[in-house]
Structure 1
Amino acid sequence: MPSAQFPIQIIVIAVSPVIRMGLSAMLEDNPKFKVLKSVADIDSLIDDIAQLQPDVVLLDWNSQDYESISQSQQFMSATIILVDEIEDINFATVLAARIKGILPHDSTESEIIAAVEAVASGLVVFHPDIVDNLQLQKPANSQQHETLTNREIEVLQMLTSGLSNKAVAQQLYISEHTVKFHVSSIFQKLNVSTRTEAVAVGVRLGLIML
Structure 2
Amino acid sequence: MDTQRVLIVADDPLARAGLAALLGGAEGCLVAGQTSARDDLPAALDVYRPDVIVWDPGWDPDFSADLLPDFGENAPPVVALLPDAGQAGSVWASGVRGLLRRSASAEQLTAAITAARLGLAALDPALMGALPLATPISIAAELTPRELDVLRLLAHGLPNKTIARQLEISDHTVKFHLNAILSKLGAQSRTEAVVLAIRLGLITV
Fold in common (TM above 0.5): yes
Equivalent residue, structure 2, for 1:205? 200
> Secondary structure of 1:41's partner?
coil
Closer/same/farther in 2, CA of residues 59 and 42 from structure 1, 3 Å limit: farther
1:88 aligns with 2:87: yes
Give the % identical residues: 20
Equivalent residue, structure 2, for 1:29? 25
Q: Counterparts of 1:178 and 1:54 in 2: how far apart (Å)?
A: 28
Q: Counterparts of 2:78 and 2:171 in 1: how far apart (Å)?
A: 34
Equivalent residue, structure 1, for 2:36? 40
Q: Counterparts of 1:191 and 1:122 in 2: how far apart (Å)?
A: 20
Equivalent residue, structure 2, for 1:69? 68
TM-score, normalised on structure 1?
0.69
User: Which shifted more, 68-77 or 32-41?
Assistant: 68-77
Contact kept, 8 Å, 1:78 with 1:120, in 2: the verdict is yes
Closer/same/farther in 2, CA of residues 131 and 74 from structure 1, 3 Å limit: same
Aligned pair count?
A: 195
Tell me, which stretches of 5 or more residues in structure 2 are unaligned?
none
Which of 122, 139, 146 is the aligned partner of 1:151?
146
Q: Counterparts of 1:12 and 1:178 in 2: how far apart (Å)?
A: 33
Contact kept, 8 Å, 1:60 with 1:83, in 2: the verdict is yes
Q: Counterparts of 2:98 and 2:174 in 1: how far apart (Å)?
A: 34
Contact kept, 8 Å, 1:43 with 1:68, in 2: the verdict is no
TM-score, normalised on structure 2?
0.70
Closer/same/farther in 2, CA of residues 42 and 55 from structure 1, 3 Å limit: farther
Question: Which runs of structure 2 are paired with 1:143-182 in the superposition (5 Å)?
Answer: 143-145=137-139, 146-155=141-150, 173=169
Contact kept, 8 Å, 1:119 with 1:125, in 2: the verdict is yes
Equivalent residue, structure 1, for 2:113? 116
1:9 aligns with 2:8: no
Question: Which runs of structure 2 are paired with 1:106-145 in the superposition (5 Å)?
Answer: 106-134=103-131, 141-145=135-139
Opposite residue 119 of structure 1, the aligned amino acid is: A
Closer/same/farther in 2, CA of residues 209 and 67 from structure 1, 3 Å limit: farther
> Secondary structure of 2:7's partner?
strand
Opposite residue 112 of structure 1, the aligned amino acid is: L
1:104 aligns with 2:98: no
User: Which shifted more, 22-31 or 54-63?
Assistant: 22-31
> Secondary structure of 1:24's partner?
helix
Contact kept, 8 Å, 1:49 with 1:75, in 2: the verdict is no
RMSD: 4.0
Q: Counterparts of 1:155 and 1:69 in 2: how far apart (Å)?
A: 25
